[in-house]
């Protein structure tokens, strides 16, 4: 039995959820998100909650149960609060600047890195060394943050690079004479 899957997902006021043609759509103040429903799982939209149960007793249905419930909860949280990831840039001369639908990164290369911001994602740079990525889709926000971080991962000797806020960088000691 999935402990996570047993709990129904609460739908707050101002949010509507409906099932049509195998797609669960959740509409809230920040926008609309959809989830393609699995055949192994049955979804029930009741008064003020969405419950997720396995449709049959197969091992695959039990495996999908908790994950599908979490995905439904991510939809509800996304349309009500949204998601934010914060990246911090460390290094001499390393900086970021949001310019409309582009993010310009200076990361020690011979050229500037121009990152095109995808649809549904908002990027802000409160200062030169901080990048705030926000949106309603948790997967998309995390993917954009990972793609930006991939340009210059933090290195273990000086800690230079792009890291998530709160991420611990394991530091190594340099060469000794």
**Tens digits of per-residue pLDDT, 66-120?**
999 999 999 999 999 999 999 999 999 999 999 989 999 999 999 999 999 999 9
3-state secondary structure 81-147: CCEEEEEEEECCCCEEEEECCEEEEECCCCCCEEEECCCCEEEEEEECCEEEEEECCHHHHHHHHHH
- Would you say the CATH fold of 83-164 matches that of 3-80? yes
Percentage of the chain surpassing pLDDT 90? Answer: 85
> Which CATH code fits 3-80?
3.90.930.12
Contact 140, 118 (CB under 8 A): yes
pTM: 0.89
What pLDDT score does 35 carry?
A: 93
Domain range summary for the chain, segments of one domain joined by +: 3-80, 83-164
Three-class DSSP category at 60:
helix
Number of Cβ atoms within 10 Å of the Cβ of 120: 13
pLDDT classification of 163: cutoffs 50, 70, 90:
very high
pLDDT classification of 1: cutoffs 50, 70, 90:
low
Q: Which burial class, exposed, middle or buried, applies to 52 when counting CB atoms under 10 A from its CB (0-12, 13-18, 19+)?
A: buried
CA–CA distance, 59 with 73 (Å, rounded to integer): 23
Q: Which fold has domain 83-164?
A: Outer Surface Protein A; domain 3 (3.90.930)
């Amino acid at each position: 039995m999935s402990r996570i899957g047993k709990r129904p997902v609460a739908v707050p006021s101002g949010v509507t959820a409906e099932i049509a043609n195998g797609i669960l759509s959740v509409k809230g103040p920040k926008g609309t998100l959809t989830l393609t429903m699995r055949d192994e799982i049955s979804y029930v939209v009741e008064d003020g909650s969405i419950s997720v149960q396995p449709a049959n007793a197969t091992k695959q249905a039990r495996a999908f149960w908790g994950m599908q419930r979490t995905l439904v909860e991510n939809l509800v949280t996304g349309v009500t609060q949204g998601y934010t990831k914060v990246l911090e840039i460390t290094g001499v001369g390393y900086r970021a600047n949001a310019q409309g639908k582009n993010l310009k990164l200076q990361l020690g290369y011979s050229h500037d890195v121009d990152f095109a911001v995808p649809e549904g994602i908002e990027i802000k740079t409160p200062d030169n060394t901080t990048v705030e990525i926000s949106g309603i889709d948790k997967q998309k926000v995390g993917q954009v943050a990972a793609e930006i971080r991939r340009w210059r991962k933090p290195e273990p000797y000086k800690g230079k690079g792009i890291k998530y806020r709160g991420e611990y960088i394991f530091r190594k000691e340099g060469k000794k004479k």
